[in-house]
Chains A and B, each alone.
Chain A
Amino acid sequence: MNAPALPLWAEALIAALVLLGAGIALLGSLGLLRLKTYFERVHAPSIIATMGCWSIMHGTLLYFSLQGHGLAVHALMIALFVSITVPVTNIFLMRAALFRARRAGKDVPPSLSRTVAADERDS
């Protein structure tokens, strides 16, 4: 593509946004690598889905909007989709981990929902 040259302030802004997003992605992944227990580790990648994804998305949006073909908001779709789906995945993973920790007899908080089967088992 023979894109027109961007002005210097736009390049600096896009570079700052993209580097910030990449640095935050590295931070979240390092947290995933370094934290001790699973229930601490599950928090670390969430920052990638919020601030890392949003800053890189803003960099993409700025870059393609300044190409001269009008406002390019298609990158916003990815960020909105990720901000909807990542909490769902994280809640599922947390519930699965709690369920497996309870089954293994670890020291985790008990379940709050009292199902019929649990009542029968307790009595």
Chain B
Amino acid sequence: MNGPILSWALPAALFLLGVAMACCLVRMIKGPSAQDRVLALDCMYLNGMLLMLVLGIYYGSSNYFEASLLIALLGFASSTAMAKFLLRGEVIE
């Protein structure tokens, strides 16, 4: 397993990223407009992607990299689709 420094630094980083995701969740729940909620979701998927990368270091496994890449791909697609919906009222014209 990891050495003396990484064994406390990685849980601390995971905690910081968890608090960051909680901040995004609060903004997504109380956000006054729809675009605030979409922005908060966008920020949350970035935080989740970073969380997956840190978990990959924590467990020393490169399987988490694929999960991270999938979150990045699907998050981009969903954020763009929702922004398009806010702009036009429909996703595919």
Residues of A within 8 A of B (CB): 1, 3, 5-6, 8, 11-12, 14-15, 18-19, 21-23, 25-26, 28-30, 32-33, 38, 41-42, 44-45, 48-49, 52-53, 56-57, 59-60, 63-64, 67, 72, 74-75, 77-78, 81-82, 85-86, 88-89, 92-93, 95-97, 99-100
Task: A37 to B18: give the CA distance in the assembly, Å.
Answer: 24
Cα separation A100 to B85 with both chains bound (whole Å): 11
* A88 surroundings in chain B (CB, below 8 A): 76, 80
Q: B6 to A42, Cβ gap below 8 A? A: no
CB-CB contacts below 8 Å: B39-58 with A? 39-40, 42-43, 46-47, 49-50, 53-54, 56-57
Q: 12 interchain pairs (CB within 8 A)?
A: A1-B61, A11-B5, A22-B14, A22-B54, A25-B46, A32-B24, A56-B54, A85-B72, A89-B76, A93-B79, A95-B87, A96-B87
Interface size class of B (residues with CB under 8 A): 35 or more
Q: How long is the Cα–Cα vector from A23 to B68 in the complex, in angstroms?
A: 19
Give chain A residues whose Cβ lies under 8 Å from the Cβ of B36.
38, 41
Contact partners of B16 in chain A: CB under 8 A? 19, 22-23, 25-26
- Cβ of B37 to closest chain A Cβ, rounded Å: 11
With A29-B24, A32-B27, A92-B87: A21-B50 Cβ-Cβ less than 8 Å: yes
Q: Which of A12, A23, A28, A99 contacts B43 (CB 8 A)?
A: A28
Q: Is the interface of A mostly helix, strand, loop or mixed?
A: helix
Known: A1-B60, A15-B5. Is A89-B43 also a contact (CB below 8 A)? Answer: no
Bound CA span A19–B47, Å: 13
Chain B neighbourhood of A53, CB < 8 A: 46, 49-50
Distance of A52 Cα from B20 Cα, bound (Å)? 12
User: Known: A74-B65, A96-B86. Is A42-B24 also a contact (CB below 8 A)?
Assistant: no
Considering the chains assembled together, what is the distance between the CA atoms of A114 and B16 in angstroms? 46
Q: Are A11 and B6 in contact (CB under 8 A)?
A: yes
Q: Which of B5, B24, B35 contacts A12 (CB 8 A)?
A: B5
User: What is the CA–CA distance of A48 and B13 in the complex, to the nearest angstrom?
Assistant: 14
